Structure 1
Amino acid sequence: MAPEILIVDDEADIRGLIAEILRDEGYEAREAASDKEAYAAVAARQPALMILDVWLNGSEHDGIQILENIKKNHPSLPVIMISGHGTVDMAVSATKIGAYDFIAKPFKTDVLLHTIERALSEAKLRKENEELKKLSGEGEHLNLVGQSSVITEIQKEIERVAEMESRVLITGDPGSGKNFVAKLIHKQSPRKDGPFVVLNCAALSSEKVEETLFGVEQTPDTPRKVGLLEEAHSGILLLDEVADMPLDTQGRIVRVLHSQKFQRLGGEGFVEVNVRVLATSNKNLQQLMENGLFREDLYYRLNVVPLNIPPLVERRDDIPDLAKQLLKKRAIATGRATPILTEDAVSVLQTHEWPGNVWELANIIERALIIAQNRDNSAISGDVVNSALSEQSESKLMSWSRAPEVLNKPLREARESFEREYLMFHLDRFGGNISRTAEFVGMDRAALHRKLKGLGVQSNTKSTGS
């Protein structure tokens, strides 16, 4: 979606000329002829940038006063001042109040466009830096690392839905990468240059959700607070863990999805927005609907395109690449060289169940790094990973609890028991991939098939060409 620019000038010819230039360059343009119209336009929906004339005939406030009032309520809104009678003192005063730049009339088109481009670019960069600060340390950019068939299919699905304007409901276990998938949809969508705004429904009290989402109208004592819906205009709003949204707010969201307009808390006028809405949930929304805890009409409006993200345990092939990326990230953050991840360490990682998905893997990698450093190890070994896991909780590792039982069997039966568990271990490790298992254990693929059949191992196995 193109950035929207508000032009405030008392001369209709000037407003029309600037609007025509902007539209030719792919921007959206709105116009205002007075202070009242300017305030009303910003109240209706905050633009991406304002072009503001200093002198406005028939207005109670001049451009400098409008700038001062706008900056009180919308400090991040870039404002470019224009004037045919400007002075150096006026320009200095405007920039002190918060104007991005001051351009004298008559202005050159390329100068105006270049100034607009710089102002929007810097505003976008500031917003991105704020988002990066919020996300620092979370490692979300690592969630879809891997080459497994599962991840390949998810990536194809992301590419497909990104081009649409449809709403998407992204489901999956905690830590499986739902938020990152939403970011990828934004990045690959036609709205990629617009904002990506997240409402964390689980982190806010019921009293704060509506204030955060819809904003609050200004009062004589407090400035206007712009809500996330308004911030997301021309971009994407993510309702993160939407199942935790209060029922009353769910009803208001249904109306917004239908009309694309809403009222701020304490406001009388409507704010119109153009927002694509995505949602995530780690809960069974069908069950919540049956229990009266989630609105059916909201579910069907959000679930236009369903997208389920599989847990880490279903994509074990991706664990080595993901673990190495996490190791590198944590090593860089601590100013150390990235240690090697040994084969036995990979084995242990691939056979753990990972109920906490990528979040849990990141914690284990960080803990393993600390253990290795304490032992002066130059590599992360299986023993180090085992220690990290045992510090956290009991984990599903390859330990032969059946050893006493097997030791009391004849050699042939004992050998079969060992082979069965050994091969099942590596099948589990390689996600059921027969070719990779055969290569690792040193067997021909057909021979492995026969061996598994002879041992009575029935499993969902995958096979790739040799």
Structure 2
Amino acid sequence: MQDDFSGAIDGAKDARDLLELATAEDSVGDLLRRGLDWLTRVVRFDLATVFLLKEGRLVAVAARGSLANAKVRQHSLPLSEFPSLRQALETRRAKAFTEEDHAHGDGDPFDGVLDLPPGHSCMVVPLCAGDRCYGVLSLDRAECETYPQPVVDLVEVYGQMLATAIQSAEQRATFERLHRQDHEHAKLLEAQLGGDSEGILETSKSPVMRDLARRARQVAETDTPVLITGETGTGKERLARAIHRWSARADQPFVTLNCAAIPAGLLESELFGHVKGAFTGATKDRAGRFQMAHGGTLLLDEVGELPFDLQAKLLRALQEKTFEPVGSDKTVRADVRILAATHVDLQQAIAQKRFREDLYYRLSVFPLRLPPLRERREDLPQLCAFLLEEQANRTGRRGMRVTPEGLVRLEAYEWPGNLRELANALERATILTRGTELGPESFDVPTRGAAVVAALPEEPAPAAGGPKRGPVLTLAAVQREHIMRVLTLTRGRVYGANGAAALLGLKPSTLQSRMKKLGIARLEQFVVDEA
């Protein structure tokens, strides 16, 4: 007995190890194996077995000691046949069994599994934490003596700590499972709300856009900062999301901050966070976008609108990957990949002392320019299909399509608002149209005809007495007639400063594509001069 008590005293000196056990981040199986290994420091045994309660049975899940074997590890007990074990769970008290308990009690739990002598040392310790009992820990020795009460009391405390560790491990496993589910759900929502950015980029018929997608894929594989420029509404955030999804950080957060949408006085707090009491209204600590994006990607949208005095702090955060929240003197480290987007001419802003030159060079390591929609009109059919599909996810109006005549009407517009304006025009047309086809009458956008006509020489007035009005023509017929008239005026010249493409405000390749679509691709009466 003295040896057992000495072992208990030595085990008490390992309190820090027991605390570590209670806060360990192992799985339940690993935790039980480590717990039984540490138990050898607390008390002597020939067999230590952990039974977990599963559907009214105590099932062995871990065993240690010289008597541990395959039969022990596969052993299970119906709780209803062992009142002493049920009592230990109900009272939550450890119990050392005597020879009398073995003789007149409910039998040895290991009868038929181990050949232990009557009256051997045996202890049962409940594993309970909070309002739940997880099972029992049993200790057995082949020697015929009873565990002393100080040892029983100490192992009871150990059992409580082991049960607490089991509870924490199960809760942690649940949280991780819920986190994975939430993460997958967030990615699904992001894909639905953010749209199929990759599809829009990689199915483009524009050579410029295809080259842009290729270079974006290349830089996505690195952590190099990217500066995305382009007119308002060209899809800079779409491109940024595509770069994030193509990167190794795709499973980590994608966080955006619109530098033009937040008052200058709050931007620093939005970027770097703040601590409680940092300013009026700061009632608690709050993480900034850098901390939210840790491990992922941070898009600084409209970075050209960032206040000049905040640019130096942003530059330091980019260079050192550290910053201090507002009101704090503690340095915070964040691993963030930076993407920046702007429609502002940053070179001009630098010349006007509105943007730091050193920050510009830090952000524009790999610049990407998104062309406006008027430079990629050949993409209108698939852009309309993509945007209508995205809107269908929000509005439920599925099966909507733009007719060929409707596309001709859309191609005749300059689209100063680019993709954003196109999306608005499609959504407006979807609301106003009863059927599923969006024809030219569905769109209220102006055409470029008036500007082109103004640039052409005047035609002779119709003869006196001639008809004042002709029959109403379709839009395609009007376009065909107008292009042929311009080609007549330019003597068939398509290219050059005075060519038909320049007068019509089109790229020569776009004009030739339009001519083919309208049936005037082969103009025998014209000579197409490509000089």
TM-score bin, normalised by smaller chain: 0.5 to 0.7
- 2-structure distance, mates of 1:431, 1:360: 25
Change (3 A) 1:129 1:323: closer
What is the number of residues matched between the two proteins? 363
- 2-structure distance, mates of 1:421, 1:344: 27
Secondary structure of the 1:452 match is coil
- Correspondence for 1:160: 218
Q: 1:331-342 maps to which residues of 2 (within 5 A)? A: 333-336=394-397, 338-342=399-403
- 2-structure distance, mates of 1:378, 1:183: 30
Q: 1:17-166 maps to which residues of 2 (within 5 A)? A: 18=26, 86-88=129-131, 104=163, 107=166, 114-115=173-174, 117-125=176-184, 128=187, 135=193, 144=201, 146-166=204-224
Alpha-carbon contact 2:23-2:165 (below 8 Å) kept: no
- Correspondence for 1:188: 246
Give the superposition deviation at 1:418.
9.3
- Correspondence for 1:381: 439
Moved more, 196-205 or 357-366: 357-366
- Correspondence for 2:316: 255
Q: Relative contact order (alpha carbons < 8 A, sep ≥ 6): 1 or 2 greater?
A: 1
Secondary structure of the 2:327 match is coil
Alpha-carbon contact 1:348-1:398 (below 8 Å) kept: no
- Letter in structure 2 aligned against 1:432: S
Change (3 A) 1:265 1:17: closer
- Letter in structure 2 aligned against 1:266: G
Alpha-carbon contact 1:172-1:178 (below 8 Å) kept: yes
Are 1:176 and 2:224 an aligned pair? no
TM-score, length-scaled by structure 1: 0.65
Secondary structure of the 1:216 match is coil
- 2-structure distance, mates of 1:112, 1:201: 39
- Correspondence for 1:440: 517
Change (3 A) 1:199 1:330: closer
Instruction: Kindly provide the CA deviation profile for residues 7-33 of structure 1, in whole angstroms up to 9, marking residues without a partner as x.
Output: x998457778749x99xxxxxxxxxxx
Alpha-carbon contact 2:488-2:526 (below 8 Å) kept: no
Are 1:452 and 2:513 an aligned pair? no
Secondary structure of the 2:183 match is helix
Secondary structure of the 1:224 match is coil
- 2-structure distance, mates of 1:190, 1:159: 11
Alpha-carbon contact 1:317-1:431 (below 8 Å) kept: no
Give the superposition deviation at 1:427.
8.9
- Correspondence for 2:488: 416
Pick the aligned partner of 1:286 from 347, 369, 375.
347
Change (3 A) 1:188 1:207: same
The structure with the largest alpha-carbon Rg is 2
Change (3 A) 1:302 1:333: closer
Give the superposition deviation at 1:363.
1.7
Secondary structure of the 2:445 match is helix
- 1-structure distance, mates of 2:297, 2:390: 28
Alpha-carbon contact 1:351-1:429 (below 8 Å) kept: no
- 2-structure distance, mates of 1:276, 1:400: 46
Are 1:361 and 2:433 an aligned pair? no
- Stretches of structure 2 that go unaligned for 5 or more consecutive residues are 1-15, 31-126, 135-161, 464-483, 495-499
- 1-structure distance, mates of 2:185, 2:308: 35
Moved more, 417-426 or 143-152: 417-426
Give the superposition deviation at 1:366.
2.4
Are 1:396 and 2:452 an aligned pair? no
- 1-structure distance, mates of 2:445, 2:360: 38
Change (3 A) 1:339 1:303: closer
TM-score, length-scaled by structure 2: 0.58
- Letter in structure 2 aligned against 1:87: G
- Correspondence for 2:386: 325
- Letter in structure 2 aligned against 1:281: T
Give the superposition deviation at 1:86.
1.8
Change (3 A) 1:150 1:305: same
- Correspondence for 1:406: 459
Secondary structure of the 1:180 match is helix
Alpha-carbon contact 2:324-2:330 (below 8 Å) kept: yes
- Letter in structure 1 aligned against 2:222: M
Instruction: Kindly provide the CA deviation profile for residues 392-434 of structure 1, in whole angstroms up to 9, marking residues without a partner as x.
Output: xxx4247874799334599x99982398699749997787157
Alpha-carbon contact 2:25-2:169 (below 8 Å) kept: no
- Stretches of structure 1 that go unaligned for 5 or more consecutive residues are 1-7, 23-83, 92-102, 459-466
- 2-structure distance, mates of 1:448, 1:415: 12
- Correspondence for 1:237: 298
Give the superposition deviation at 1:438.
5.8
- 1-structure distance, mates of 2:420, 2:378: 17
